[in-house]
Chain A
Amino acid sequence: MRASFVFSEVVTGLRRNVTMTVAMILTTAISLGLLGGGLLVVRTIDRMQQDYYQRVETVVYLSADISANDPGCTSSTCSALRGQLESAPGVQTVIFESRQAAFARFQRIFQGQPELLQLARPEALPASLRVQLSDPARFPSIAKAFTGRPGVDRVTDQGEYLRQLFRALDGLRNATFVIALIQALAALLLISNTIQISAFTRRAEVGVMRLTGASRWYTQLPFLLEAVVAGVVGGVLAIVGLVIGKVAFVDRVLAGVFEAAIVPRIGYADIFSVAPILLLVGSVVAALTGYLTLRLYVRT
């Protein structure tokens, strides 16, 4: 197999149908870019989930009686609750927050709003046991076990809001993948079509190849490589697009969000860990499309 010969055939083939080649490469790039975007969203969501669930607390609010009379959680009711929580499965730490401590925190949070602070009195705030779960999915069983116990007012979980947030993000990710899929379909049809056109414009060459006894590989490899070139170049463009998207869009628009550490930053390392996947998917899918097209439409 003479590499230089096959290579020059590929270049001629791509050059001869410039418009189709460009369309094929751009569509492939957009499709792979969206796939890459989707994968980055998935990574971000995963990381956010870890972060957030580490930070969220399950809170067991204590009754008015304990709140008023037991500032150190020394009563038998309170200390029994604390002990049971500590030994419940999936619980990492339990911290008691007295009414005074809750009030101090309230004051800290609403520092800027003196009217609110004037109105508030410590009596309005309950004491609580703040529970860190090692696995946020344990919340329902904790809630069930402790709701309605003597000394317990109610059990809340900040996780519920997060779950809604993550459902929205999952939706975003799925939408990205669906668009990527539709684009991929367009890219596949374009690749297939380009190969058919390419085979048609080169029917004279292919005819001579067949009659001179060129092997199937020799006849078809140039077409296959054309498809693979589209896949690889499309993949490279997609990666460049993701980097540009990060610098020009994500970093600017979401600067505040990153600053506040609400969403973990998307780094170059993230993009480059997605890059090989895009190149691989691009070239393999393009090669398969090329192979099937040759099988179905091009006589050898």
Chain B
Amino acid sequence: MIRLEHVSKSYRTSTRPALDDVTVAVGKGEFAFLIGPSGSGKSTLLRLLLREEVASTGDVYVADLNVGRLSQRRIPQLRQRVGCVFQDFRLLANKTVSENVAFALEVIGKPRHTIRKVVPEVLELVGLEGKADRMPHELSGGEQQRVAIARAFVNRPLVLLADEPTGNLDRDISHEIMLLLERINRTGTTVLMATHDHAIVDSMRRRVVELQLGQVVRDESRGVYGVSR
């Protein structure tokens, strides 16, 4: 589902490459953690998958798309198949919970009757059925992240990318978010999650890909965060 082949990425303004000859593949329906110290290149890898950045060398594939080669006009096709959530939620402050979720469908031109049907469904999936008409500032951090996940998932993407989705949340709430991501993974969606959070990685016992200074230094199928740091 996701494949990077000898991918390097150098930002123009920095001397060290953010990614250095990375080859990694995540299969359909898999759940994988992307870990590593700050600056090791986790966010960069996710941005390559979204075509927010283009690899300096090497090839990036998502499903059957060669991401680096996509023309500007076909980038939306990629992004409609890849959902993503972030540490800072990125909800629209002037829209309600259900409007935030519906927005993701409206902007890709989904018909209104579809939107009316699937938005409540996905809000129920993330456990927010009673809060559809709240504004984001009326929600806790954990609830806001659920809205963000609902928005990323509402169009049933093949892949869900999460960049430190629990970075702003405390332990218990983080755990709930992980259960939610697991539930989404069980629907067949490939999940790739970048994180610093030892406890979560250790408790989940899922595949772990570790980056250091832009290189893959570890790839274990049922890993822990590790003891070295």
For B, the interface residue count at a CB cutoff of 8 angstroms equals 24
Residues of A within 8 A of B75 (CB): 213
Instruction: Assign chain A's interface to a size class.
Output: 10 to 19
Any chain B CB within 8 A of the CB of A209? yes
Q: Which of B72, B76, B112 contacts A2 (CB 8 A)?
A: B112
Q: Are the CB atoms of A214 and B90 closer together than 8 Å? A: no
In whole Å, how far is A14's beta carbon from the nearest beta carbon of chain B? 15
Judging by beta carbons under 8 Å apart, are A208 and B92 in contact?
yes
Q: Which residues on the B side are within 8 Å of A204 (C-beta)?
A: 90, 92-93
Number of A-B contacts (CB under 8 A): 55
Q: Which of B76, B107, B111, B155 has the most CB of A within 10 A?
A: B107
Neighbouring B residues of A121 by C-beta, 8 Å? none
Partner of B84, one of A1, A211, A215, A218: A211
Q: Are A212 and B90 in contact, with the CB atoms below 8 A?
A: no
CA distance A214 to B106 in the complex (A): 9
With a cutoff of 8 Å between Cβ atoms, the chain B residues found around residue A5 in the complex are 106-107
A210 to B82, CA, bound (A): 12
In Å, the complex CA distance between A277 and B80 comes to: 42
Would you list which residues of chain B between 75 and 107 have a CB under 8 Å from chain A?
Answer: 75-81, 84, 90, 92-93, 103-104, 106-107
Question: B106, A207: Cβ atoms under 8 Å?
Answer: no
Contact with B along A195-207 (1 / 0, CB 8 A): 0000000001101
A216 close to B (CB within 8 Å): yes
Q: Is B50 an interface residue (CB 8 A)?
A: yes
A191 shortest CB reach to chain B, Å = 24
The answer to whether A211 and B79 have CB atoms under 8 Å apart is yes
Asked whether, in the complex, the Cβ of B76 is within 8 Å of the Cβ of A213, the reply is yes
| Contact for A213 among B93, B108, B112, CB less than 8 A | B108
Contact between A209 and B107, CB atoms less than 8 A apart: yes
B109 at the A interface (CB under 8 A)? yes
10 contacts between A and B (CB under 8 A): A5-B107, A204-B92, A208-B92, A211-B84, A212-B103, A212-B107, A212-B108, A214-B108, A215-B109, A218-B107
B residues touching A (Cβ–Cβ < 8 Å)? 50, 72-73, 75-81, 84, 90, 92-93, 103-104, 106-109, 111-112, 151, 155
Nearest first, the 8 closest Cβ-Cβ pairs linking A and B are A213-B79, A213-B80, A214-B107, A213-B76, A212-B104, A209-B107, A5-B106, A215-B76
